[in-house]
Structure 1
């Protein structure tokens, strides 16, 4: 088990942040903070498996108990087995629309007879030194998150959550708002009402539901909506926001300077 999966399983409220900058220094630095996990995004970045592996090493080097969770590009058994072979704590998979797709996800990261994951002496097994023990005990230990991002996913959220092995659901606000014809209206009453059934599945199924808020000022609002866990902020957005603050601070300081008169 990992720290984040333990929190998910025990109705905790883990907090993560989003990493789209593919550099181990960013991963290692962020992992030194008081975060339960970092989400490394492979879907909408140019990151390779080698990059993700070095980032996972960076997180481990921080030695702070922070987990690495990887958002893969698609619900593809080949991609999934290669990612979990790195030894990450969990995976998040986009566009899960049905219970059948959720079962495919679970089977992809579990060894037979529960799944179809191929067996290899990878980093996850300490390069074979922990081979038998890891293979024997791995099933059910990898945090498995299904993203709800379409109308079909919204309609089938409860069935998806009820698939054995799905640890959490995750509302993807950008794609889901677009699919519902409300792109970027995630603060609107209409969107709030539309996603409420997904949030309610947490009560009916016991499976936590999370989401992303790039705007860290919206954390209170998202928790008040009923989300069980959050990914707060994206690395590049937080970096740019901080630099914007520095620019504004510099401009304000310049404005306060009183020109020295050359006349007595």
Structure 2
């Protein structure tokens, strides 16, 4: 973990990540190659902390490991940080108060309330004094805005000291707006543009997840800074479906 990780999440500085939902170290090893960062998801997967720890050991040394925690909870945040990550993604942030709670959990006292103990993050205590002194400045805090209420409060959220970047949860956001999956609907496009503009006005980077070529183009054109360009389950399912379809087309003709 270095200051270089924070440089990945600067407005106007493109960075590319990969999304990991499968809890096997080989997947993390394969999917982190060549990327600036990876996001290991514990919100919508069955991964426990032991699995996350093993994935972190497999991530390529040049890819910054970010973990999405399942909720804005100080106990979860503390335990994942102790595993030795470069930063966290925290879902469903709707207010400045929630953003402040997340930042508070990310920081050691006296700036925050993170529990103090040696762990993998400090080489099992060997470098704990140094880690304690530098962690608050080096860890990246990425908050997810993914509801109509979050959009309405986006300016307050990104204004919170300690918020490094935001990411748009487009699936949940479109559902919250009553237009699930309708990316060209005016309500969704307006909400997305509002988040991007607000982040820009407050000098914060904004990112999104794309799972296919079309969405890579769509979200890049929308003005995002960093892109999670694909996900392990999407690669597997699309590759598997394509191979099967290719064979079936041959034998059916």
TM over 0.5: yes
Counterparts in 2 of 1:104 and 1:11: CA distance versus 1, 3 Å:
same
- 2:103 and 2:19 map into 1 onto residues whose CA distance is 23
- 2:69 and 2:226 map into 1 onto residues whose CA distance is 20
Corresponding residue for residue 196 of structure 1: 193
Corresponding residue for residue 171 of structure 1: 168
Moved more, 201-210 or 121-130: 201-210
Q: Is the 8 A contact 1:2 1:89 kept in 2?
A: no
The alignment of Structure 1 onto Structure 2 pairs a total of residues equal to 252
- 1:83 and 1:14 map into 2 onto residues whose CA distance is 23
Give the superposition deviation at 1:213. 1.7
Asked if 1:36 corresponds to 2:1, the answer is no
- 1:100 and 1:193 map into 2 onto residues whose CA distance is 24
Q: Is the 8 A contact 1:182 1:191 kept in 2?
A: yes
Q: Is the 8 A contact 1:7 1:14 kept in 2?
A: yes
- State the Cα deviation string for residues 212-235 of structure 1 (Å, max 9, x = none): 122232212211111111112221
Q: Between the two structures, name the one with larger relative contact order (CA 8 Å, sep ≥ 6).
A: 2
Q: Is the 8 A contact 1:85 1:124 kept in 2?
A: yes
- 2:191 and 2:11 map into 1 onto residues whose CA distance is 27
- State the Cα deviation string for residues 187-238 of structure 1 (Å, max 9, x = none): 3343112221101012210001111122232212211111111112221111
SS at match of 1:91: strand
Q: Is the 8 A contact 1:154 1:198 kept in 2?
A: yes
Superposed CA RMSD in Å reads 1.5
Counterparts in 2 of 1:148 and 1:73: CA distance versus 1, 3 Å:
same
Corresponding residue for residue 129 of structure 1: 126
Asked if 1:250 corresponds to 2:236, the answer is no
Asked if 1:231 corresponds to 2:225, the answer is no
Q: Is the 8 A contact 1:151 1:179 kept in 2?
A: yes
Q: Is the 8 A contact 1:95 1:150 kept in 2?
A: yes
Asked if 1:13 corresponds to 2:14, the answer is yes
Structure 2 unaligned blocks of 5 or more: none
